[in-house]
């Protein structure tokens, strides 16, 4: 019997062309794919037609016991790999960023199954690059902190650590915080020493992706129905404003022409 193997694969934020080459190769060679709820139709279209497809998506409020659900995933990986299959456990984003990847890795190490981990682009990185939101900037912000709005057991994040990080001029990224946005923004607006910029990016890398930007005061009063759909990632901090191209437009022609004049003076151009 052919030896089975398991790949724990990050599918990225949604767009198929943001898959890594290694992730795509693992998908194309899979006999069995266990995929999450947020795997897009675009990525699913790449699944081999003969592969066994198992939807193991976790949906908030679906009433299923999270422990039993995770054990089911473990059992499926074990069973299909022992039968000699090439198994892909496909996760949205990156497996090690709120993807429970480490839980599955511990299980695979314990059972001595052969596996490989393939990273994916996390939602924060996709959102930052798509909408030009700086996560760090020289001389302004040098730290990035990732948080979940909901802690283990369903407890809400008390924001104390987040406030310290923002006051330190670091950038904060909040996953799974869409439903708590009003409440979080109100508390931040009340407790921070100054109004802070917030960007809410919906469906990063999707065709329907959107961004809404404002400060803590704005988001403390906005109607949740005015915001784009989830899944969404929240990027906030004192230096997370999207660059304003209109303000820079007036200086653009002068800057470029000056740079060109300086380049003409460079010795290397005499070679042409």
Long-range contact set of residues 15-24: C-beta below 8 Å, sequence gap at least 24: 15/40, 15/42, 15/126, 15/205, 15/206, 16/40, 16/42, 16/43, 16/45, 16/46, 18/121, 18/126, 18/205, 19/43, 19/46, 19/120, 20/118, 20/119, 20/120, 22/118, 23/118, 23/120
Alpha-carbon distance of 201 to 65, in angstroms, equals 30
Q: Does 22 participate in catalysis according to the annotation?
A: no
Q: Is 271 exposed, middle or buried (0-12, 13-18, 19+ CB in 10 A)?
A: exposed
Active-site residue, 58 included: yes
Choosing from 3, 50, 58, 64, which is the catalytic residue? 58
Residue with tokens 């996953």: 175
One of 36, 91, 94, 170 is an active-site residue; which one?
36
Residues 173 and 125: their CA atoms lie apart, in Å, by 10
DSSP string, 175-222: ES-GGGHHHHHHHHHHHSSS--EEEEEESTTSTT-EEEEEEHHHHHHS
Instruction: Name the residues annotated as catalytic.
Output: 36, 58
């Amino acid at each position: 019997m052919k030896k089975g193997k398991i790949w724990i694969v990050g599918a990225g934020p949604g767009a198929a062309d943001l898959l890594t080459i290694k992730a795509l190769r693992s998908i194309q060679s899979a006999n069995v794919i266990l995929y999450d709820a947020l795997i897009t139709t675009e990525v699913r279209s790449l699944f081999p037609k003969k592969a066994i497809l198992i939807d193991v998506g976790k949906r908030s409020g679906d009433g299923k016991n999270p422990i039993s659900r995770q054990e089911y995933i473990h059992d499926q990986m074990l069973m299909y790999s022992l039968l000699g299959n090439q198994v892909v456990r496909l996760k949205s984003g990156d497996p090690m960023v709120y993807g429970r990847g480490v839980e599955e890795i511990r299980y695979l190490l314990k059972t001595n199954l052969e596996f490989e981990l393939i990273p994916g682009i996390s939602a924060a990185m996709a959102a930052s690059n798509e909408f030009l939101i700086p996560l760090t900037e020289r001389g302004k912000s040098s730290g990035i902190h990732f948080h979940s709005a909901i802690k283990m057991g369903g407890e809400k994040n008390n924001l104390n650590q987040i406030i310290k990080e923002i006051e330190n001029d670091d950038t904060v990224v909040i996953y799974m915080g869409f439903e708590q946005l009003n409440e979080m923004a109100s508390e931040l607006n009340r407790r921070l020493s100054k109004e802070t910029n917030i960007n809410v990016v919906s469906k990063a890398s999707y065709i329907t992706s959107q961004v809404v930007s404002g400060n803590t005061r704005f988001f403390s009063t906005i109607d949740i129905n005015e915001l784009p759909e989830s899944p969404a990632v929240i990027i906030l901090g004192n230096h997370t404003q999207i660059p304003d191209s209109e303000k820079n437009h007036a200086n653009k022609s002068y800057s470029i022409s000056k740079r060109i004049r300086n380049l003409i003076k460079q010795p290397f151009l005499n070679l042409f």
